[in-house]
Structure formats: structure tokens, C-alpha cells
């Protein structure tokens, strides 16, 4: 069964982080994604780089003018392009959007950057932590007495970057189907991460959100929404927001103190949190997991990367798959009729040079 994007052909210029992540999502959903790798990397590659799974590889010297002309021929026959260079790099290579859209007026030209294609910082370097710092997201994370912690690069690179580029590419492709024309998709992590912050900006505008960290319901301020250490040094994640779930939490913790009836009294939160902290410290994580398992208390064990794929719920849904002996996250989301799948592990650079050149009638001598 073919994936929902079967028949879509994309070219991805090799990079790191959110661009390849976007390409992985689209490839898992059925698109043919041709990754253009550096000629200097020919025959090399990490086959357990999950972000390059399901893609084909064409190795090319982008400094060779003849090779650039052949890549233009390739772009004339595909539906979209993904690149994650600094603004201006593709233009200097002769592969900027203006040039490429002349070749293929229906081409969707996806651009992935941190700062965006324009603006005062557009040409400066940065990473996830810098981009989310400017959106307000980083300041909201962590404990009030500490500096904001360096988070995993989920909010900027992947949530605010790669996922938004994937959505933008698919949206623009749908526009083509509806009679539109090719266009540039400018996916900036500062834009995407800002959109992810919409609810919190709404909270602030309504007077519901306090600026100080660990003073709000969702930032670790509330006793019913936080992580707690167990007797074995492992952790529980507690998220009993709704009253009916909160009551089950208290029942399972065997807490009857009447002060807990004032669930949303911010003044009481530190005191109530201390009681829960001491209570949870009485048992191991797995003991608590057995107590809360199958209830609506909204409590879950905090698992590490080795434990997560083995959890019975994750196993029942096949949320992780094993390919060539390597465990990795399965494609998402799930489709009832057009299932997404991992076509193959990441291939070495240039592994598909011959077949791609033959399929698209490219000069094989231009690709090493």
C-alpha cells in the first residue's frame, strides 16, 4: 500500500537538523526524496541516521557549473525542493528560487532557516537555543531560581522548524493541485516556535500567566503538574489538571489533607507540592506506576531512551520499529488507507547515482 504522498518527487539538499527531518517525514509518507550529498562524501554515510531513511542519494559537486546545469534538469522534473542553507547560498550556486521557478513554474521551493530569509539577523549564525530565546519560549522553561535550561532542540529545530516546513510543503503542493503555481515556502524557526507559543501569549493577554517561572499551572508551579523523584532516583510525571483526575491522584497517593481541596490556590502550591514530593519519595517509580496504571490520575513514569520502546503501550501501537537490528521511531501520523512506512535505512552518499541519472536522463559524468 502506497503512502499518501506517493507520486510526489522532491529534491533535498543535504544539511543537518530540521531540513532532513522534514524530508524524512515526507519520505516516510510516500514521497520520493532525492538527497543531494556532497561529492566529497561519496560512498560515506551513517546508515543509522534516521533522518535520512527512506531517501535516495545523489552525490554532486555543487561548485561544478556543469553539475549545476544537470541539477536544474532534475529540478525541472520534480515537485519540490528543500534546502537549509543561509540566505543567499542557493542564489550564489545559481539555484535560487527565481532561477528554479523559471525552469519549473510549479516547483515548491522550501527554505529552512532559523531567522528567516530576511530581517536584521537573517544572515547570522544561530542554533535552536538562540531562536527560541527570541520567541519567549526559553524564558518560560525551568525553575525560577535557575537559569533557563538548555532544552532538547525540539521546539525550534523540529517543532517550530521541520514540522512547519513539512506542513508548508504539503500545503503548497495542494495549492498546485487546486490550480495554483509554484512558490517559495519560507520556514523560519523563530516564526514556527512563536506560533507554538500562541496559547501562552493568549494566557498572558488574558492575565492568566505570570511572568515569573514556576508560578503557573503548566510551568512547574502547580503541585498537580510537575515531575517528582521517587525513592529509586527515577521520576514520575504528574498532570492531574481536571478536578475529576485530581481527585484520583489524591486517592492513589492516600492524601486526605483538606488543604488539597483548594487545587488552584497559588499561595498553597509550594506547601502542597512539598507534601506530594515527600509522599512520592516513599516508593520506587515502578511501584507508583503499578498503583496508577490504568487510572485517570494522569500519572506516567518518566522513561529513558532504552525504556520507552519497551513500554507495553508503545509496543502495542508499534510506536517504535526495528530495522536491521536498530530500534527507531515509526512514521507518524497513521493513515487508515494509505499507510506511511520506512522504505529502507539511510543510504550512503551517491548510492543511487546510476539509477537517478538514468531515470531523469542526467549526465552521469557530472555526478561522482
Q: Which of the following is catalytic: 157, 186, 191, 226?
A: 157
Closest CA to 225 of 216, 212, 234, 233: 216
Q: Give backbone dihedrals phi and psi of 306, rounded to 5 degrees, phi first.
A: -80, -35
Buried-state track 155-174, b at ≥16 Cβ within 10 A, e below 16: bbbbbbbbbbbbebbbebbe
Please give the distance of CA 143 from its chain centroid, rounded to a whole number: 24
Residues belonging to the chain: 368
Confirm if 86 and 123 have CB atoms less than 8 A apart. Answer: yes
Identify the three-state secondary structure at position 46. Answer: coil
Is 118 marked active-site?
A: no
Sign of CA dihedral 18, 23, 25, 26: positive
Closest CA to 173 of 365, 325, 358, 10: 10
3-state helix, strand, coil in the chain (%, to 5): 40, 15, 45
Is 344 marked active-site?
A: no
Q: Which residues form the catalytic set?
A: 127, 157
Amino acid at each position: 500500500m502506497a503512502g499518501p504522498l506517493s507520486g510526489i518527487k522532491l529534491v533535498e539538499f543535504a544539511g543537518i537538523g530540521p531540513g532532513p527531518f522534514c524530508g524524512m517525514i515526507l519520505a516516510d509518507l510516500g514521497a520520493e526524496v532525492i538527497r543531494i550529498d556532497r561529492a566529497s562524501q561519496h560512498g560515506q554515510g551513517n546508515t543509522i541516521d534516521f533522518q535520512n531513511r527512506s531517501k535516495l542519494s545523489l552525490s554532486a559537486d555543487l561548485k561544478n557549473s556543469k553539475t549545476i546545469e544537470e541539477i536544474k534538469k532534475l529540478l525541472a522534473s520534480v515537485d519540490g525542493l528543500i534546502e537549509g542553507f543561509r540566505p543567499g547560498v542557493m542564489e550564489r550556486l545559481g539555484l535560487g528560487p527565481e532561477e528554479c521557478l523559471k525552469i519549473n513554474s510549479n516547483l515548491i521551493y522550501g527554505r529552512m532557516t532559523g531567522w528567516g530569509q530576511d530581517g536584521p539577523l537573517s544572515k547570522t549564525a544561530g542554533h535552536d537555543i538562540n531562536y527560541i530565546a527570541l520567541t519567549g519560549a526559553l524564558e518560560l522553561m525551568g525553575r525560577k531560581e535557575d537559569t533557563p535550561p538548555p532544552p532538547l532542540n525540539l521546539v525550534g529545530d523540529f517543532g517550530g522548524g521541520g514540522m512547519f516546513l513539512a506542513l508548508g510543503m504539503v500545503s503548497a503542493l495542494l495549492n498546485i493541485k487546486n490550480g495554483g503555481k509554484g512558490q517559495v515556502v519560507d520556514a523560519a524557526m523563530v516564526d514556527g516556535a512563536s506560533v507554538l507559543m500562541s496559547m501562552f501569549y493568549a494566557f498572558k493577554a488574558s492575565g492568566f500567566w505570570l511572568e515569573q517561572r514556576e508560578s503557573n499551572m503548566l510551568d512547574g508551579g502547580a503541585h498537580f503538574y510537575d515531575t517528582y523523584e521517587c525513592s529509586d532516583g527515577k521520576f514520575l510525571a504528574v498532570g492531574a489538571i481536571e478536578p475529576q483526575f485530581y481527585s484520583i491522584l489524591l486517592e492513589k497517593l492516600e492524601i486526605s489533607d483538606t488543604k488539597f481541596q483548594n487545587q488552584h490556590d497559588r499561595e498553597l502550591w509550594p506547601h502542597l507540592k512539598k507534601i506530594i514530593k515527600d509522599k512520592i519519595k516513599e516508593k520506587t517509580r515502578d511501584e507508583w506506576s503499578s498503583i496508577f496504571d490504568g487510572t485517570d490520575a494522569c500519572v506516567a513514569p518518566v522513561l529513558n531512551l532504552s525504556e520507552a520502546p519497551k513500554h507495553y503501550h508503545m509496543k502495542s501501537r508499534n510506536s517504535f520499529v526495528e530495522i536491521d537490528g536498530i530500534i527507531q521511531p515509526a512514521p507518524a501520523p497513521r493513515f487508515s488507507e494509505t499507510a506511511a512506512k520506512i522504505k529502507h535505512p539511510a543510504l550512503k552518499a551517491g548510492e543511487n547515482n546510476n539509477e537517478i541519472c538514468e531515470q531523469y536522463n542526467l549526465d552521469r559524468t557530472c555526478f561522482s
